[in-house]
Structure 1
Amino acid sequence: MAMMRAAFYDSYGPPEVIYVGRAPVPTPRKGQVLVRVGAASVNGGELFARAGRLRLLTGRRFPKAVGIDFAGRIEALGPGVRGVGAGEDVWGVLPRGRMGTAAEFVAVDAGRVAPIPAGLDAIEAVSLLAGGTTALTGLRDKAALRGGERLLVRGAAGGVGSLAVQLGKVFGAHVTGLASARTGDFVRGLGADEVLDYAVTGPGDLGRFDVVFDTVGGRLPEFRRLLAPGGRMVAVAFDASRILRDVGYLFASVVHGSRRVRFFSGDPRRELLDELAVLVGDGSIRPVVDTVRPLSEVAVAHRALEDGGVRGKQVIAI
């Protein structure tokens, strides 16, 4: 049986619970492709899962795998696969609730992969993937952001926020980014019209916005009050220490009031990947790589993202 290297953890805890072990190379089932992974990235939801803050959803069965997005090359096809072939360079995101791309190989439904945008390598491509599809869905489909509107991006330097800033400008909005002082110049370089230090700028110091895009979580009522009449707030993260309060608040916002809050978790398929590739191809958005690390340093990448202050993505080169 062919074996591969992959990242796992055997108990919930800090980043250091992650280790690189060995597992059988998966066999693609009907409708699946086997991808030799070139790169994966670290995403915020994985930190919560690994720390055990979502254990009611993730359960207590171990070991658990690591990684949700990937860029690589198709190695083999399962029965019944059409439209793609071995040797093609592709990118994709695993279905909601599944992890395992921090590994040398991953088997995934063929409908969840699409060609990597021309001119990008695996590392550049994966830095755009989960953040880009989340920001595109949140701003275009959930918030219906329009030209001339005022957009606030909370967590503007991170893997999702850095793409939201770029897409906000694509849609013609006036973009204000909330980020740390040390990442301010980075966020301005992405096109933000204004960047404010979240350590010294609270919600009460801000004006009105048509759309608030929140990648941080927590303090949702305070940021919702910044919405102009008819404003929309899109939350793509929870403060895990206050998750029940946040969920209750989101539910109430759907029922009451004109300033609505929406939460969603991305689950992109090929159509959305292709739409993102068009934006990459015409230069509307660009890769946002903070640091590239080998598979052996997955835990270090988790720690770096958890500590904050990153500029774009922590990428794992397989």
Structure 2
Amino acid sequence: MKAVQIMSYGAADVLRMNEVARPVPGAGEVLVSVEASSVNGHDVLVREGGLKMVSGRRFPIGVGLDFAGVVAATGADVESYRAGDRVWGMVHPRQRHTTGGAAEFVVVSADRIAPAPAGSSLVEAASLVVAGATALIALRDSVRLAAGERVLVRGAAGGVGTAAVQLAHAMGAHVTALARDRHTQLLTGLGADEVLDYGSTASEQVGPFDVILDTVGSELNCYRNRLAKGGRMTTVGLSASALAAIAASSVYGSRRIRAFSANPGTALLRDLADHVTSGALRPVVDGVHPLADTAAAHQAFEQGGVVGKQVIQVAA
């Protein structure tokens, strides 16, 4: 089968599409024929060598955290799925993989997939796996957003941001989106009550907010200061400076800066699919690239200024 792999740590040009052996599912595992994957920050971090403690120094290394496709085969003890089922899921982010979602086939544990949302194409579904799961965990579990609260989504035009705006709106919150001014119409259409241009809006000009969801990872203390009494803040932008700010904020108790690991299993993926099928969450795709152009998809992701996700279409 064809699979995109990291041949050394570095820029997007270290990615190669190689011919590799098709994996075989073991007990409790499922072999998925992949139709699409997407580019996530985790993929770029692995490729650049930012997660060497996990990914190691032996190459090649697989790329592609998430996927959507069709079950091709199941291993022993798998009773929930059968060949032909439409599924979505993700490989385990803390395990080393020689192939990931950016491949024609992927093997994962059956507890890391769920039925793909009805009514969505598999390309659309792939754009929502990590982004949607991250936004749902952040709002529902990390900060426990409640109806009527005021929430700021920082970096609202990205993959996680566009999902968070929609989910926060569905939860009954008043949503302020911080993004480029040119994205106002899109974000308003996704459920934002207010859109602020991050280029001309300083942190001290906004708020106070009951909840802040940050996807950027910079100026965290400045935004934490915009929390109302009893407010909560969480971030998914885990740079070195962000980790330092998170640690230092512990003295603020409930108003500290929180972080979490988006590592969804079947239950959360089922919940996420319900949001999609109900219409509360819809995909926002900036570009679709063939498997052979995975490097171009990474480059587009890194350039910034995109809206939503870069998707890799494996099966035409």
Common topology (TM > 0.5): yes
> Which residue in 1 is equivalent to 2:271?
275
Give the CA deviation at 1:111.
1.2
1:52 partnered with 2:49: yes
Q: Is the 8 A contact 2:69 2:87 kept in 1?
A: yes
1:98-137 matched pairs, under 5 angstroms: 98=95, 100-137=100-137
Q: Deviations over 1:53-76 (max 9, x none)?
A: 333443322111110111000001
Give the CA deviation at 1:198.
1.3
1:251 partnered with 2:247: yes
Q: Deviations over 1:113-148 (max 9, x none)?
A: 111111111101111111111111110111110111
> Which residue in 2 is equivalent to 1:147?
147
Out of 90, 100, 120, the residue aligned to residue 93 of structure 1 is: 90
**1:58 and 1:186 mapped to 2: Cα distance?**
37
> Which residue in 1 is equivalent to 2:300?
304
**1:202 and 1:298 mapped to 2: Cα distance?**
36
Q: Is the 8 A contact 1:186 1:311 kept in 2?
A: no
Give the CA deviation at 1:255.
4.4
Aligned-partner SS, 1:264 = coil
> Which residue in 2 is equivalent to 1:220?
220
**1:49 and 1:201 mapped to 2: Cα distance?**
33
Gaps of 5+ in 1: none
Aligned-partner SS, 1:248 = helix
Out of 296, 300, 310, the residue aligned to residue 314 of structure 1 is: 310
Q: Is the 8 A contact 1:209 1:226 kept in 2?
A: yes
Give the CA deviation at 1:313.
0.9
Q: Deviations over 1:128-171 (max 9, x none)?
A: 11111111111011111011111111110111110000001011
Out of 78, 83, 93, the residue aligned to residue 81 of structure 1 is: 78
Give the CA deviation at 1:257.
3.6
Between stretches 102-111 and 117-126, larger displacement belongs to: 117-126
Q: What is the letter of the counterpart of residue 119 of structure 2?
A: G
**1:96 and 1:51 mapped to 2: Cα distance?**
15
Aligned-partner SS, 1:72 = strand
**2:46 and 2:203 mapped to 1: Cα distance?**
28
Give the CA deviation at 1:251.
2.4
Q: Is the 8 A contact 1:116 1:125 kept in 2?
A: yes
Q: Is the 8 A contact 2:155 2:214 kept in 1?
A: yes
**2:180 and 2:59 mapped to 1: Cα distance?**
36
Give the CA deviation at 1:248.
3.0
1:22 partnered with 2:19: yes
Between stretches 89-98 and 27-36, larger displacement belongs to: 89-98
1:183 partnered with 2:179: no
Aligned length: 311
Q: What is the letter of the counterpart of residue 124 of structure 1?
A: E
Q: What is the letter of the counterpart of residue 13 of structure 1?
A: G
> Which residue in 1 is equivalent to 2:33?
36
> Which residue in 2 is equivalent to 1:5?
2
TM-score computed with the length of structure 1 as normaliser: 0.94
Q: Is the 8 A contact 1:182 1:309 kept in 2?
A: no
List 4+ stretches of structure 1 deviating above 4 A.
none
TM-score computed with the length of structure 2 as normaliser: 0.95
Out of 282, 286, 290, the residue aligned to residue 290 of structure 1 is: 286
Cα root mean square deviation, aligned? 1.4
**2:242 and 2:145 mapped to 1: Cα distance?**
23
Q: What is the letter of the counterpart of residue 257 of structure 2?
A: V
Give the CA deviation at 1:252.
3.2
Task: Report sequence identity in percent.
Answer: 50
**1:203 and 1:34 mapped to 2: Cα distance?**
47
Aligned-partner SS, 2:128 = helix
**2:170 and 2:30 mapped to 1: Cα distance?**
33
Between stretches 148-157 and 51-60, larger displacement belongs to: 51-60
**1:303 and 1:221 mapped to 2: Cα distance?**
30
Q: What is the letter of the counterpart of residue 288 of structure 2?
A: V
Q: What is the letter of the counterpart of residue 131 of structure 2?
A: G
Q: Is the 8 A contact 1:183 1:310 kept in 2?
A: no
Q: What is the letter of the counterpart of residue 32 of structure 2?
A: V
Residues 1:257 and 1:80: Cα distance change in structure 2 (over 3 Å): closer
Aligned-partner SS, 2:103 = coil
Q: Is the 8 A contact 1:183 1:309 kept in 2?
A: no
Aligned-partner SS, 1:96 = coil
